[in-house]
Homo-oligomer: A and B are copies of this chain.
Amino acid sequence: MHEKIKDLLNENDRFAKHNNIRVVDVKEGYAETEMVINENHINAAGVVQGGAIFTLADLAFGAASNSYGVLNLSLSSTISFIRPAKTGRLRAIAKEISKTKKISVYQIEVFDDSGNLVASMQGLAYSKDKTIP
């Protein structure tokens, strides 16, 4: 099922696809995404735009929170931008830190190629009690 969720997101998340972001791993309460930086990710200051970093983290959060096969929606996320990124590959890792029937909390970290922390996010997801088709 985890492979199915990965494929479903990589095929049907048009925004992620359009921005060269993809899911690379999904386990229960866990996911990884990656983005090879290109010129379309860059902002006016010459570094990767915060929205691109958020999207990379958010896709990992979405994949992880849907990893149980039940539809989950993102309610709220707090992201801290720690270090600018310019080139190479960024990777986001989402880990569940708590889960109740309706609400789960995830910690998502974004790393650059050297393993430096680029951003740290905490996200809340809400379960819709609806299985993923």
Cβ A9 vs Cβ B78 within 8 A: no
A40: B residues at CB distance < 8 A: 14-15, 18
The reply on A30 being an interface residue by CB < 8 A is no
- A14-33 residues with Cβ-Cβ distance < 8 A to B are 14-16, 18-19
Residues of B within 8 A of A98 (CB): 80, 82-83, 117, 120
CA of A78 to CA of B117 in the docked complex: distance in angstroms?
19
B49 and A13 contacting across the interface, CB-CB below 8 Å: yes
The 8 closest A-B pairs by CB, nearest first: A51-B55, A15-B49, A12-B44, A78-B78, A18-B40, A76-B80, A82-B98, A54-B54
Return 26 A-B CB contacts under 8 Å, by A number. Answer: A13-B44, A15-B19, A15-B48, A15-B52, A19-B19, A45-B71, A51-B58, A54-B55, A54-B58, A73-B81, A74-B81, A75-B75, A75-B103, A76-B76, A76-B79, A76-B124, A77-B79, A80-B98, A80-B105, A80-B124, A82-B100, A82-B105, A83-B98, A102-B126, A122-B122, A124-B124
